[in-house]
Structure 1
Amino acid sequence: MFLLIHSCQSTAQTYFANAKIPWKQGSDGKGYITIWPSSPHSGTCWDVSSKATLSHNGGGDSNAIANMITYAIGKYSADPAKVFVTGGSSGAMMSNVMAATYPELISAVSLYSGVAAGCFVSSSGQVDAWNNTCSGGNARATSEQWTDVVHAMYPGYNGTRPKMQIWHGSADTTLAPQNYQEELKQWTGVFGVSMTVTDSKSNTPDSGYTTSDYGDSVQGIYAQGVGHSVPSHLKVSEAWFGL
């Protein structure tokens, strides 16, 4: 089962119809179920800033999406061990938040042009707030600090976590490329692996793209000269999901 989380200025319907978002083709070809949530907020960004959404069972957008997953598993007898999440821009931000707040529901994530989980937090607790410090790449922390942010979203959780594939473009002027580094610091920290690349492939999957592995559970794909956001790569994401 795939969860496809749209960007700002989009909806579930427009995301589904977007030819650059090819997941319905994969669904038709490989028979997996797709879920297309739609943001309830003005401007249709996802709430990745409030305490509610950044907390397990907190009642925010992340909780609503988690409920969609559990409902669909029960309704359609989907395999709970094969639940995958992807999204672009605001949808990528929410993908990170879902991995942090509901890791027990998700097997793997492939996200395009996002920010670290908790990076957009609002100091006033505002729902669906924009965070210029984070978007500009100036919310920087150590791997340990970012790991603590994830752990605080689901205190006491010590189960398995989804493996993370993180895409970002070097020419992104909406969510600065530094956010790619912060995401890598966060998830390598969560998995307890080094930021030292264990395998790197240039011009993969496309010319100008560099794919870097950090052990088996974290992969970064950096797209030279690509802006916001990196186009979805269906087959590469499916391969990351083991399909």
Structure 2
Amino acid sequence: MRSSTLAAVLAFGSTAFAAQLTQVSNYGGSAKAKPGMWVYKPDTVKSDALVVAIHSCQSSAQKYFANSKIPWHQGSDRKGYVTVWPSSTTECWDVSSKASLTHDGGGDSNAIANMIKYAITQYKIDPAKVFVTGGSSGAMMSNVLAATYPELISAVSLYSGVPAGCFVSSSGASAAWNNSCSGGQSTATAQKWGDVARAMYPGYNETRPRMQIWHGSVDGTLSPNNYQETIKQWTNVFGVSTTPTSSKPDTPEKNYRMDDFGPNIEGIWAVGVGHSVPSHLDASEAWFGL
């Protein structure tokens, strides 16, 4: 066989057997909501960690996976961890209804928790290495998951979201838009925001996921005010001050500022950046310890 032909065959073979985003048709659980579950398992698994990447509105697991600004599958290839890509059945994630804002309530958050449980068993994931990330509506869901299923998640890195419970629907509708919250008019004390998060899983007093919160200063879709409200929420949950313990200008890049509120909360304020803040793989992976 000529070398050029052999090279072509080898190239074809490597492509044919390359890792692909694959749907899991039945991930189990009793949640009424049934968003799709997609998994990317790299060709070489080198880590027992799991990253759950949650898409924005008007997107899907496939679109989010293919988005060049969402680099989590490249991180998966590079470091060998499995990624799960939930796919909503509605335009945006349900971060509004009681079903989704309650532990084991049967909503979207419950379904994603079931995906995590499935992945832990199926892919031999260390339960202490489950991480969640998302942008916009996916960031909102990341916050909701941190409140409703803290026992399943070790750390969160969310981009351009709102506090958990901020998008609550007065009518009980799922995936409802909340103009007051998106416009930045939903403000409260740190105690009130903390109470909202705690009420999603009453009686839970164990470890909470470490929270990394990103927001752009000129976000025209989800008001920048939501950054401070989210900081209020999680600093209260962790019982720490809203005053940063340290601050690093131009980190992780120019015009970004990284504020730490003790070891469990980190805020990144992106000056001049709109909606949504581009994913920073290295900084998010560092937060996760990957």
TM norm structure 1: 0.99
Question: Of 103, 110, 117, which residue of structure 1 is paired with 2:164?
Answer: 117
Of the candidates 191, 195, 208, which is equivalent to residue 161 of structure 1? 208
Residue of structure 2 in register with 1:63 after alignment: 110
Query: Among residues 86, 102, 113, which one is paired with 1:37 in the alignment?
Result: 86
C-alpha deviation, 1:124, in angstroms: 1.1
Q: Over the residues paired in the alignment, what is the CA RMSD in angstroms?
A: 0.4
Q: Output aligned runs, 1:29-178, within 5 Å.
A: 29-41=78-90, 43=91, 45-178=92-225
State percent identity of aligned pairs: 73
Residue number in structure 1 paired with 2:266 = 219
1:152 deviates by 0.5
Q: Which stretches in structure 2 are left out of the alignment for 5+ residues? A: 1-49
**Alignment deviations for residues 176-215 of structure 1 (CA, whole Å, 9 cap, x no partner):** 0000000000000000000111000000011100000000
Q: Is it true that 1:236 corresponds to 2:273 in the alignment?
A: no
**Where do 5+ consecutive residues of structure 1 fail to align?**
none
Q: Give the structure with higher Rg (CA).
A: 2
Structure 1 outlier segments of 4+, above 4 Å: none
Q: Deviations over 1:107-160 (max 9, x none)?
A: 000000000000000011111100000000110010000010011100000110
Amino acid in the other structure paired with 2:89: P
Task: Name the SS for the 2:227 alignment partner.
Answer: helix
Q: What number of residue pairs does the alignment pair up?
A: 241
The aligned amino acid for 1:31 is G
Q: Matched residues in 2 for 1:182 and 1:81: separation? A: 28
Deviations 1:216-236 (A, max 9, x none): 100000000000000000000
SS at match of 1:168: strand
Following the alignment from structure 1 to structure 2, what is the Cα–Cα distance between the partners of residues 168 and 151?
Answer: 23
Please give the alpha-carbon distance, in whole angstroms, between the structure 2 residues aligned to 1:9 and 1:49: 17
Q: Using the alignment, how far apart are the partners of 1:208 and 1:184 within structure 2?
A: 19
The TM-score with structure 2 as length reference comes to: 0.83
Q: Report what 2:33 is aligned to.
A: none
